[in-house]
Amino acid sequence: MKGKWIVIACVVFIGIGLFGTLIHAGSAWAQTKKGVLKIGVCGPLSGAGITYGYAALAGLELKNEEIQKAGGLKVGDTVYSVQPIPYDTKYLPDPSVTAVKRLVYEDKVKIIFGECGSAAAMAAQPITESNKIIYTINTYTNRTLSPTTLYTFRTGNTPMEFGPAMLAYYRQQFPQAKKIGYLYREDETGKSMLAMQQKNAPVQGFEVVPLPVEPGTMDLTPLVTKMISLNTDFRRAHVI
């Protein structure tokens, strides 16, 4: 009888040991689950604004390298690697809409960033907002942010914030100056920047002389020459 209880006790202890081993193995497996976080990158990878588009893409790729060297992006019990999915929007509205639709409906991303064109971002924004996609942009128009655009975020300051300070600096450094020649792209970005200049420049006693630039214009020499002929004291441009 005594031998029987010894056998039973051994079986119980072995069972407990195996159960603990399984729990530990299961815990270790849970801690090493792998996942992929897909992040869309929409921006001009060709044409006007190409430097901004590639800067956004390169920034994500560099950060991803850091994350992987640190062991991945750990969220809960899963370690994620980041997969950038880039699309060239050419700094234009139509390609931006097409790119965002593919990212949302085909690639199934939940985060998109990189767009620097105001017109491009505004065209795609209804898609990102209605699908609750985090949309981080670097645009200059103030029309992309409002109480109703809950999922759109801007990555940095714009001339809306630092423009008045720049104009005040110009006035302080060049008290005799009167005219500011302003080259602006004939789209949402350029028009919003022109409106900002026309609002703030008179506060410092400047007159704004606007010269529109059609999207796609490569040679600005004729416009710069015209601007000089109008006796402008400063020449500014926003044509990217």
Average pLDDT along the chain: 82
pTM passes above 0.85: no
Domains recognised in the chain with CATH numbers: 31-154 (3.40.50.2300), 159-238 (3.40.50.2300)
198 vs 106: CA distance, rounded Å:
43
Over its length of 240 residues, how does the chain's per-residue pLDDT go in tens digits?
444 444 343 333 333 343 344 344 444 444 568 898 999 999 999 877 888 888 888 988 898 888 888 888 888 889 888 889 999 999 889 999 999 999 999 999 999 988 988 889 999 999 999 999 999 998 888 888 889 999 999 887 787 788 899 899 989 999 999 999 888 888 887 888 888 889 999 999 999 999 898 877 778 888 888 888 888 888 777 655
DSSP characters for 139-198? ---GGG--TT-TTEEE-S--HHHHHHHHHHHHHHH-TT--EEEEEEESSHHHHHHHHHHH
